[in-house]
Structure 1
């Protein structure tokens, strides 16, 4: 099956929302328990499209099976910083798709003009951390007990990639 990696489109919103929900409900990879309400997801995606913020999706059989988005940090003094979020549906992991999504998204982020891209990854998600290191991210620290899901604390590793 051919996988297309491309910028998100308005017609992808519902499928993107569903994919986020699947990964969130795993309670292992995202600091979410479920996808945000569909209208919030719709507003987020439409804003990304309108502003040209990097947001790529992996499409298989017309459905979103993975995503990587890099919106700007929320404060004006951090306009040069992008916050990276990504995920893949379980059956698509371990096949190089995350690396493709990340590579395309980082190229778009560089073209957009970000000088710093940062992310947080669960300390136990060593595969994702290794992927980020391979893409030039460096560990900057650990937020101990930063995430609490179902009574279990998770440390969050903070990583960043700087561009000159």
Structure 2
């Protein structure tokens, strides 16, 4: 597959992104219940189109990354956080996730961030391996923070410098 086209999300992507969010939902990475129909509400006041980068392949959205702030505190404004990442099942293993992570890192740099962070569930080894390969390191673990699909799961905090 050629490299996916990464671009800023547009308001008219909302329906496709909601569909993708529903299609990719899994207790492997989600701590909230699965999205329910209708799937047309994806953007919010805190995460609009400009906070998302999407991956296109053959004219179809196959992934997204959401970038935001870890808190609303001014003292924390130098940090950006990956607040969501999804890749369509048919596009997994083709470099879409990596391209989206790199786009988030570049966007954070362009916005003047000194650090980028994320949270990932401990049992999501595929995502953890991807993040580690892009320079993220484990900075903390909250043991058994979530009870998902019948098991207690760690919340792993990862980050990296952008300097």
TM superposition score category, shorter chain reference: 0.7 to 0.9
Inter-partner Cα distance in structure 1 for 2:121 and 2:104: 21
How many residue pairs are counted as aligned between the two chains? 159
Change (3 A) 1:20 1:38: same
- Alignment check: 8 A CA contact 1:13 1:45 kept: no
Match of 1:81 among 79, 104, 115: 79
The offset of 1:46, in angstroms, is: 6.5
Q: Which residue of 1 aligns with 2:131?
A: 132
Inter-partner Cα distance in structure 1 for 2:49 and 2:111: 12
Inter-partner Cα distance in structure 1 for 2:96 and 2:68: 21
- Residue 93 of structure 2: SS of its match in structure 1? coil
Find runs of 4+ consecutive structure 1 residues off by over 3 angstroms. Answer: 35-40, 44-48
Change (3 A) 1:40 1:115: farther
Q: List gaps (5 residues or longer) in structure 1.
A: none
Structure 1 segment 7-156 matched on structure 2, within 5 A: 7-24=8-25, 26-35=26-35, 41-44=42-45, 47-49=48-50, 53=51, 55-76=52-73, 77-84=75-82, 85-156=84-155
- Give the TM-score taking structure 1 as reference length: 0.84
The offset of 1:33, in angstroms, is: 2.1
Q: Give a deviation string over 1:75-95, Cα, whole Å, max 9, x none.
A: 222111212021112221111
